[in-house]
Amino acid sequence: MGTRYTYGLAATNKVMIGGPFLHGHTIEVETMENNGKILVDGQEVCKERGTTYKIEGGLATISHNTQGRLVDEAASQFERHMVHLHLPQGIHLTVFRWTNYLDLDLRMPPLEGGVDGSCGNMNGNKADDATQEIFKRVGARIERGDMLFRNRHSLQFTSEEYDMLMTCHREKRERSQNSCERELESSSPTDDELHACMFDYCFGMNEHSLRTARTFASAEDRAAAGEMSSTA
């Protein structure tokens, strides 16, 4: 979900882990905002820092504390609520919980059958980890039958995002529209969903996205993000 601190660009708001490797169990970790929780199979666990919870006697272990090297040192000023997930197959995920977003540190060995998704496919070739290449392999959106979350977020594409989308090079924007219309055809996408997909195609893995988004932000949003502003 977009925040003022990211000028409307997407920030991780919740993470959920599940599937056969967890024997059907699910783990959810939310932000601290609105009494965010750590849930196992829908039940809250590890309410207090310094607590640990084990699934099926050790299939997975969840620890809630203040330990862990920050992904973003800019967050060092905030109170720490770290969630460490020790999962099957040597997968370790640390979730850094902040007020309205999450930072993630995922460490895992290569897995039999391979992996793929937003973080790439772990083949050592970063060129095929671009958003467009991932879309070609796994699609632009998770199919409803594969979703772990109970509900799909209702997209609302803002006028600022649309203005930013129009800065995407025309040929690339046209390719993104063709690709997204094809990828989303079966779900009959709304205009907002189509534009959101195009936005991902144009700005995913673009290190200048935040700088571009800043130019479309209001003075109020820049102030919320902690920027110094001046008026004539």
Terminal alpha carbon distance of the chain: 33
Mean pLDDT across 16-33: 93
Q: What is the pLDDT of residue 107?
A: 93
- For residue 208, the cross-strand partners are none
Assigned token pair, 43: 């039940």
**CA-based R_g, the chain, Å:** 19
| Alpha-carbon span 198 to 184, nearest angstrom | 11
Nearest to 31 by CA among 85, 71, 106, 81: 81
Q: What is the pLDDT of residue 160?
A: 81
Reply yes or no on whether the pLDDT at 29 is more than 90: yes
| Alpha-carbon span 4 to 13, nearest angstrom | 13
Q: What is the pLDDT of residue 203?
A: 84
Assigned token pair, 120: 């790439």
Q: What is the pLDDT of residue 58?
A: 87
- For residue 2, the cross-strand partners are 10
Mean pLDDT across 118-147: 84
| Strand pairing class (91-97; 51-55) | unpaired
Could you give the maximum distance between any two Cα atoms of the chain, in Å?
A: 64
Reply yes or no on whether the pLDDT at 86 is more than 70: yes
Question: Which phi and psi angles does 178 have, rounded to 5°?
Answer: -60, -45
Q: Do residues 90 and 112 lie in contact, with contact meaning Cβ atoms separated by under 8 Å?
A: no
Question: Who wins on pLDDT, 132 or 91?
Answer: 91
Instruction: Give residue 228's pLDDT band: very low, low, confident or very high (50, 70, 90).
Output: very low
Mean pLDDT, the chain, whole residue set: 84
| Alpha-carbon span 223 to 28, nearest angstrom | 32
- For residue 85, the cross-strand partners are 62, 93
Domain ranges, ordered by start, for the chain: 4-109, 114-227
- Give the SS3 label for residue 93: strand
Q: Do residues 213 and 9 lie in contact, with contact meaning Cβ atoms separated by under 8 Å?
A: yes
| Alpha-carbon span 108 to 106, nearest angstrom | 7
Question: Which phi and psi angles does 182 have, rounded to 5°?
Answer: -70, -45
| Alpha-carbon span 40 to 25, nearest angstrom | 7
